[in-house]
Amino acid sequence: MDRVWLVVMGVSGCGKSSLGAALATALGLPLIEGDDHHPPANVQKMSHGIALTDADRAGWLATLGRALADSPKGAVLTCSALKRIYREQLRAAAPGLRFVFMAIERAQSERRVAARAGAGEHMFPASLVANQFATLESPVGEPGVLAVDATLPLGKAVAQAMAWLAAETK
């Protein structure tokens, strides 16, 4: 495959990090974990159950765009990318950028987020899941987007994404 820039996107709890890491390994590309690039103010807001605004996300998205642009051989980025304007900002930084949208029902997302928050594994509380669903503008129908059922076993999701990428990069 030629250079691949890929964003694994969706609401919190959809499995972005797991699929992103697996795809980065399969593709031999660096993984950019979007959550690792939030400024401290964003982390503090989220950990206190305060939803991020477009203004809060602007600098974060610019940072992620630079990280993609600084990966000339390609990269896999995990990022919620909830709105089309966010995806367009990332596309501008990495022409040819593709997205794998992890589609999940709200109840399933809430269960997953509550489980990992309860285990102390993540900064994002389940109380913010509703806001993410309210903010989400589905990317289905946009060019360069594959929707994957977030409840699929990881191996099946990886296989589906890899087959799609192979077809997309012919």
The answer to whether 139 touches 148, Cβ cutoff 8 Å, is: no
Q: Average pLDDT for residues 115-135, to the nearest whole number?
A: 71
- Delimit the domains of the chain by residue range: 4-168
pTM for this prediction = 0.91
Per-residue confidence (pLDDT) for residue 111, from 0 to 100: 87
Q: Is the confidence at residue 122, as pLDDT, over 70?
A: no
- Provide the CATH number for the domain formed by 4-168 in this structure: 3.40.50.300
Number of H helices, E strands in the chain: 7, 5
Q: How sure is the predictor about 123, in pLDDT bands with cuts at 50, 70 and 90?
A: low
Per-residue confidence (pLDDT) for residue 48, from 0 to 100: 82
Residue 15 CA from chain centroid, whole number: 9
Give the separation between CA 30 and CA 38, rounded to whole angstroms: 18
Per-residue confidence (pLDDT) for residue 145, from 0 to 100: 98
Q: How far apart are the first and last CA of the chain?
A: 8
Per-residue confidence (pLDDT) for residue 3, from 0 to 100: 80
Q: Count other Cβ atoms within 10 Å, centred on residue 168.
A: 14
